[in-house]
Amino acid sequence: MTRPANGAVAVGSRCPEVPVESPAAGRQSEEAAASIPGPEPRPDGGAGAIAAAGGLHTYQLQLHAAYGPVVRFQLPGVEWAVSVADPVLLEATARLDERPDALFAFLDPLCEAGNIQVMPAAEHAPWRRLLLSVLAGRPSHERHFARFTALTTQLADRWAERADRRPVELQKDLTALSLRMICAYALGSEIADPESVIAAFEEVLTEHLGRLYETPGGDAQEGRAEQAAGGVKAAKAARALAHLRATVDQVVTAHRTVDRTGAGTGNGTDRTDRSDLIGVLLAAGERPARIRDTVMMTMLAAHHTTGVAVSWTLYLLGRHPEVAARVADELDRVLGDRAAPDYPDLRRLTYLEMTLKEAMRLYPPGPYGAREAVEPLLLGGHLIPAGATVFYPIWAVHMNPDYWPQPEKFLPERFAPDEVAKRPRLAHIPFGFGPRSCEGAGLAMIEAELVLAVLLKRFRFRPAPGHQVTPIERFVLWAADDIRMNVSRRSPG
């Protein structure tokens, strides 16, 4: 087994693609399915093996290194789990449009109109088209770009005050920045106290994600203490969630008032404005509960992913000053004396984009995804039964040496156009793929490139001496004890 320097494990060799079939169910199906390679069953349902590996993300890397591109494994609460780490084979699963309910049940309390993450395919498709019309569109990106720039500049100014004095905690500061960005994006200027919304959202997130990853106490007394503390935290999170929903209702009411009176626009709000998320949801006739759920899930998805993607990118640049110097040269050439890019400048920052994509290959924000097979699939010579949970081990796909030579190395040149053309379409999937891929991928890239451009124009980053960076899974690929970096001024801010 090869273990790269960044803690990942390289994946085994690929298999030729096998067409999708729909064979009959029954004993023959079960026998064929049992032929998929994987570890021996354990009495604990696989929980111990996952814990010993450090989490499902690293367990999948180990599985594919040991057993090849298609692996069967145990997962508590899931009867059939199969992981597919070859991008050619993944094409055969690209149309799967159902998600396993059990894996997303922790989000149920955040949704009033049904868990958006496991929405049935027939209901999900029109909702997805609606979101893409806003989140993926240039009008939306351009409208909010100046606000995003101002928020990023505020963070850069705070970092400038502590430059050369003490390390910054990248994840803490950058996830807070991404939350402020998505709050401004989703709720606009109608909210009177954005900081209270941000605090409430963090309270809700801490409670529900913390519950997902908590470890039970060691004895009865500890258990009772944890239960009491958990009750207090749950009540506090419930109040915070009510505050968030009330805030969204206030924004919806403000939109409807403007629609009726035309206040502030002269002729009323254009309800087909594709830069206004809540306006588009209202125009489509979405019910209030679904609007609240959509805003919550949009904030949840954007909060961590963009912040951690930028954090890992700066971490890698700090460890590879030669790459950072090339990024800085490009920024100087494109921006000149300006401290921040304009929206059109991003298209000219090609090496910066390549660097971000390579960072998301080595440290994908979401290390895996999952779908449910609604009918049997013949995949890589193996039969996947209907009802199986099919995992897309994004980190393992990104470390597959058949498509990524020396996968542990940080090489932004992998994303030069001629190199990209040599690889299968699904060799790089930081935002997933298919009908359940991230609707906000385009917005996330705009945000991340902007933040990187502003910060790298002003600062140099170096790892804080003695600080250990360990990737763990906390809904996203997180660093266990943050990523502490020393920041020095590169040029006058």
Tokens 């930081």 locate to: 430
Give pLDDT tens digits for 177-220.
999 999 999 888 667 778 888 888 888 877 776 655 554 444 54
pTM > 0.85? yes
CA 373/CA 369 separation, integer angstroms: 13
Give pLDDT tens digits for 148-184.
999 999 999 999 998 888 999 999 999 999 999 999 9
Give pLDDT tens digits for 127-140.
999 999 999 989 99
Tokens 């040496």 locate to: 401
Q: How far does Cα 64 stand from its chain's mean position?
A: 22
For residue 16, what pLDDT band results from cuts at 50, 70 and 90?
very low
- Assess contact for 383 and 24: CB atoms under 8 A: no
> Does residue 481 carry a pLDDT above 80?
yes
Domain map (residue ranges) of the chain: 27-489
Can you give the pLDDT at residue 252? 85
Please give the single-letter amino acid code of residue 267.
Answer: N
Q: DSSP characters for 67-107?
A: H-SEEEEEETTEEEEEEE--HHHHGGGTT-----GGGGGGG
Where b means 16+ CB within 10 Å and e means fewer, 127-149 reads bbebbebbbebeebbebbbeebb
Q: Which CATH superfamily is domain 27-489 in?
A: Cytochrome P450 (1.10.630.10)
Q: What is the mean pLDDT of residues 456-471?
A: 96
Tell me the H-state helices in 214-276: 220-261
Specify whether the backbone of 28 is left (phi greater than 0), alpha (psi in -120 to 50) or beta.
Answer: alpha
Can you give the pLDDT at residue 447? 97
Least confident segment among 39-43, 51-55, 190-194, 216-220:
216-220
> Does residue 144 carry a pLDDT above 50?
yes
The radius of gyration of the chain's CA atoms, rounded to the nearest angstrom, is 23
Q: Could you give the C-alpha distances from 340 to 187, 331, 343, 454, in angstroms and in order?
A: 24, 9, 10, 5
Q: Could you give the C-alpha distances from 203 to 190, 236, 243, 473, in angstroms and in order?
A: 22, 8, 11, 19
For residue 323, what pLDDT band results from cuts at 50, 70 and 90?
very high
Q: Of 486, 482, 481, 480, whose CA–CA distance to 465 is shortest?
A: 486
CA 354/CA 417 separation, integer angstroms: 10
Share of the chain above pLDDT 90, in %: 59
What are residue 333's phi and psi, to 5 degrees?
-70, -40
Q: What is the mean pLDDT of residues 443-461?
A: 98
Dihedral sign, Cα of residue 312, residue 313, residue 315, residue 316: positive
Please give the single-letter amino acid code of residue 318.
Answer: G
CA 130/CA 126 separation, integer angstroms: 6
CA 92/CA 146 separation, integer angstroms: 41
CA 484/CA 481 separation, integer angstroms: 8
Tell me the H-state helices in 423-467: 441-458
Tokens 């199906």 locate to: 29
